[in-house]
Structure 1
Amino acid sequence: MSDAHDEHESAIKTPKQLIVAVLAGFIVPIIIIALLVKYVASDTKAGAGSNSQAPEAVAARISPVANEGFTFVDANGPKVLQTGEAVYKAACAACHGTGAAGAPKFGDAGAWGPRIAQGYDTVVKHALEGLRGMPAKGGNPDLDNVEVARAVVHMANASGGKFKEPEVKASASASASTEASAK
Structure 2
Amino acid sequence: MRVMNSFFVKSVLGTLSLFFTLSVSAASVQDDMSREAIAERIKPIGKHYVAGESSAAEESSGPRSGQQVYDKFCTACHTSGVMGAPKINNAADWEERLAQGMDTVLKHAVEGFNAMPPKGTCSDCSEEEIQAAIDYMTKDI
Normalised-by-shorter TM-score class: 0.5 to 0.7
Residues 141-160 of structure 1: per-residue CA shift (max 9 Å, x gap): 43221111011111112xx2
Equivalent position SS for 2:116:
coil
Equivalent position SS for 1:136:
coil
Q: Which structure has more RCO (C-alpha within 8 Å, separation ≥ 6)?
A: 2
Equivalent in 84, 97, 120 of residue 115 of structure 1: 97
Aligned alpha-carbon RMSD (Å): 3.4
Distance in 2 between residues matched to 1:61 and 1:78, nearest whole Å:
30
Distance in 2 between residues matched to 1:111 and 1:51, nearest whole Å:
63
Q: How many residues align?
A: 110
Superposed counterparts of 1:78-97, under 5 Å: 80-97=62-79
**Equivalent residue, structure 2, for 1:73:** 56
Distance in 2 between residues matched to 1:107 and 1:47, nearest whole Å:
64
Distance in 1 between residues matched to 2:60 and 2:87, nearest whole Å:
33
**Equivalent residue, structure 1, for 2:133:** 151
Equivalent in 21, 38, 41 of residue 61 of structure 1: 41
Alignment partner of 1:100 is 2:100: no
2:35 partner amino acid: P
* TM-score, with length taken from structure 1: 0.46
Distance in 2 between residues matched to 1:47 and 1:113, nearest whole Å:
72
| Residue 155 to residue 51, structure 1, CA distance change in 2 (3 Å) | farther
Residues 83-127 of structure 1: per-residue CA shift (max 9 Å, x gap): 212222333223223422221233444433443455433322321
| Residue 48 to residue 135, structure 1, CA distance change in 2 (3 Å) | closer
Identity rate, percent = 37
User: Which ranges of 4 or more aligned residues in structure 1 deviate by more than 6 Å?
Assistant: none
| Residue 124 to residue 60, structure 1, CA distance change in 2 (3 Å) | same
| Residue 98 to residue 63, structure 1, CA distance change in 2 (3 Å) | farther
Alignment partner of 1:135 is 2:117: yes
Distance in 2 between residues matched to 1:79 and 1:137, nearest whole Å:
21
* TM-score, with length taken from structure 2: 0.58
Equivalent in 22, 32, 56 of residue 52 of structure 1: 32
Distance in 1 between residues matched to 2:27 and 2:95, nearest whole Å:
67
Equivalent position SS for 1:94:
helix
Equivalent position SS for 2:63:
coil
